[in-house]
Chains A and B, each alone.
Chain A
Amino acid sequence: MSDIGSTTGAVLAEGMPGIVDDWSADKEAFQVPWGKAMMWIFLLSDTFIFSCFLTSYMNVRMSTTVPWPNPSEVFALTIFGNHMPLILIAIMTFILISSSGTMAMAVNFGYRKDRVKTAVLMLATAAFGLSFVGMQAFEWTKLIVEEGVRPWGNPMGAAQFGSCFFMITGFHGLHVSAGVIYLSVIAFKVYRGDYDKSNNYEAVEIAGLYWHFVDLVWVFIFAFFYLW
Chain B
Amino acid sequence: MEATAEGQQHPISIYLKIWLLLFVLSTLSYLVDVLGFESYLRWGLILTFMFLKAGFIIAIFMHMAWERLALAYAILCPPLCLLVLISLMAIEAEYTFFTRLLFFSQ
A residues bordering B, Cβ < 8 Å? Answer: 29-32, 37, 40-41, 43-44, 47-48, 51-52, 55-56, 58-65, 72, 85-86, 90, 93-94, 97-98, 100-101, 103-105, 107-108, 111-112, 201-202, 205, 208-209, 212-213, 215-216, 219-220, 222-223, 226-228
Contact = CB atoms under 8 A, between A and B. Distances in A.
26 contacts: A30-B68, A31-B70, A32-B71, A40-B71, A40-B74, A48-B79, A51-B82, A56-B89, A58-B90, A58-B93, A62-B90, A62-B97, A63-B92, A63-B100, A86-B30, A97-B26, A101-B18, A104-B18, A108-B10, A205-B8, A209-B62, A212-B61, A216-B58, A219-B54, A226-B33, A227-B42
B72 to A, nearest CB: 10
Interface in B1-32: 6-10, 12, 15-16, 18-19, 22-23, 26, 29-30, 32
**Interface majority SS on A: helix, strand, loop or mixed?**
helix
Majority secondary structure of chain B interface residues (helix, strand, loop or mixed): helix
B92 A59 contact: yes
Given A40-B71, A108-B12, A215-B57, A220 B50 contact: yes
Contact of B47 (A31, A213, A223): A223
Given A94-B26, A223-B50, 20 more contacts: A30-B70, A44-B75, A55-B85, A55-B89, A59-B89, A61-B93, A62-B90, A63-B93, A65-B100, A65-B101, A100-B22, A104-B15, A107-B8, A111-B6, A205-B63, A215-B57, A223-B29, A223-B46, A223-B49, A227-B42
Given A30-B71, A85-B33, A97-B26, A212 B57 contact: yes
A216 B19 contact: no
Contacts of A208: 61-62
Contacts of A41: 75
Most buried by B among A29, A41, A65, A223: A223
